[in-house]
């Protein structure tokens, strides 16, 4: 067990813990009940680990027996990973014109969707020029069309508004829609099985009819089949 050298802003461990009694949790997460601080420290020494105050505001405070050095390392790793994810995501921008052509609209919209799938927010800007400023409905029409194209992928975080000579709308990834879509895809049967069941249901009646046509009818009882010799005799 190490000598504690923590500051006021850090987690209290070992002899820095001030409570007289603590609720003790062992290294495997098993609750050992309420113990006096000296008894808890003794148990921690038996494990050759630290006594760490993990819930100081509880009554009594909760302390867990653990390797504090490993705990700090794991927390630092989590913090770095969180910062890395935060730095990798941000706000992208895509600019449209009120009179944009279908090809350019589709290309830019695919790029917007790519940004959203990567977890970015997207600032969509409609740039007006000259007399176009007198027709903001043209920009609104483009933004409405874009929102419709990205339904299920994006949600509108900031509604369209005029900003000087531009009209701006901010889109964010729609995580709930993606989760719902993933859940529906798991519940739905594979397309191949559905198609096969449909084909089987369609073919079976036809096959039954074909078999009925191919099977010869049995002669009626008491009626003998006529032979050539019998026909001759009658003549």
- Say if residue 18 is in the same domain as residue 66: yes
- For residue 233, tell me if it sits in a domain: no
- Say if residue 63 is in the same domain as residue 124: no
- For residue 83, tell me if it sits in a domain: no
Percent of the chain scoring above 70 in pLDDT: 69
> Residue 96 has which token pair?
């449209």
Per-residue model confidence as pLDDT tens digits over 67-79: 999 989 988 888 8
Per-residue model confidence as pLDDT tens digits over 113-153: 999 998 899 999 999 998 898 999 999 999 999 999 998 88
Query: Cis before residue 177, ω within 30 degrees of 0?
Result: no
- Say if residue 23 is in the same domain as residue 45: yes
CATH number at residue 40: 3.10.20.80
Amino acid 10: pLDDT: 76
- For residue 48, tell me if it sits in a domain: yes
Instruction: Please say which residue of 78, 99, 114 terminates a domain.
Output: 78
- Which residues are within 8 A (CB) of 169 and not within 5 positions of it... i.e. 6 or more apart? 123, 124, 143, 146, 147, 156, 158, 159, 160, 161
Give the separation between CA 164 and CA 169, rounded to whole angstroms. Answer: 13
Amino acid 103: pLDDT: 95
- The neighbour count for residue 169, using CB atoms within 10 Å, is 22
The terminus-to-terminus CA distance of the chain in angstroms comes to: 124
List residues bridging with 169 in a β-sheet: 124
Instruction: Please say which residue of 178, 198, 221 terminates a domain.
Output: 178
- For residue 211, tell me if it sits in a domain: no
CATH number at residue 101: 3.30.110.10
- For residue 174, tell me if it sits in a domain: yes
- For residue 154, tell me if it sits in a domain: yes
Instruction: Please say which residue of 178, 201, 217 terminates a domain.
Output: 178
Amino acid 234: pLDDT: 42
- For residue 222, tell me if it sits in a domain: no
CB 171 within 8 A of CB 157: yes
List, in sequence order, the alpha helices (H) in the chain. Answer: 37-46, 68-88, 102-117, 136-149, 175-187, 191-214, 228-234
Give the separation between CA 160 and CA 123, rounded to whole angstroms. Answer: 10
Q: Which domain holds residue 117?
A: 91-178
- Say if residue 150 is in the same domain as residue 96: yes
* pTM over 0.75, yes/no: no
Residue ranges of the chain with pLDDT lower than 70? 1-9, 85-89, 177-235
Amino acid 18: pLDDT: 92
- For residue 223, tell me if it sits in a domain: no
CB 68 within 8 A of CB 2: yes
DSSP character for 172? Answer: E
- Say if residue 43 is in the same domain as residue 67: yes
- Say if residue 108 is in the same domain as residue 156: yes
Give the separation between CA 197 and CA 216, rounded to whole angstroms. Answer: 31
Domain tally for the chain? 2
Amino acid 106: pLDDT: 95
Q: What is the mean pLDDT of the chain?
A: 79
């Amino acid at each position: 067990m190490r000598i504690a050298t923590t500051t006021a802003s850090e987690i209290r461990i070992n002899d820095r813990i001030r409570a007289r009694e603590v609720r003790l949790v062992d290294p495997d997460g098993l609750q050992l009940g309420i113990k006096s601080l000296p008894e808890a420290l003794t148990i921690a020494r038996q494990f050759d680990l630290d006594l760490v105050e993990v819930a100081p505001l509880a009554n009594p405070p909760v302390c867990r027996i653990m390797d504090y050095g490993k705990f700090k390392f794991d927390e630092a790793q989590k913090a770095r990973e969180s910062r890395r994810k935060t730095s990798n995501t941000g706000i992208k921008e895509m600019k449209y014109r009120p009179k944009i052509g279908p090809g350019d609209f589709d290309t830019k919209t695919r790029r917007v969707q790519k940004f959203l799938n990567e977890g970015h927010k997207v600032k969509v800007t409609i740039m007006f020029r000259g007399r176009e400023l007198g027709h903001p409905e043209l920009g609104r029409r483009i933004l409405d069309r874009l929102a419709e194209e990205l339904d299920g992928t994006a949600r509108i975080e900031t509604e369209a508004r005029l900003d000087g000579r531009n009209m701006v709308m901010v889109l964010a990834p729609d995580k709930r829609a993606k989760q719902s879509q993933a859940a529906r895809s798991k519940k739905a049967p594979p397309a191949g099985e559905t198609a096969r069941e449909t084909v089987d249901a369609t073919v079976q009646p036809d096959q039954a009819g074909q078999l009925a046509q191919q099977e010869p009818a049995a002669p009626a009882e008491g009626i003998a089949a006529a032979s050539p010799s019998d026909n001759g005799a009658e003549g």
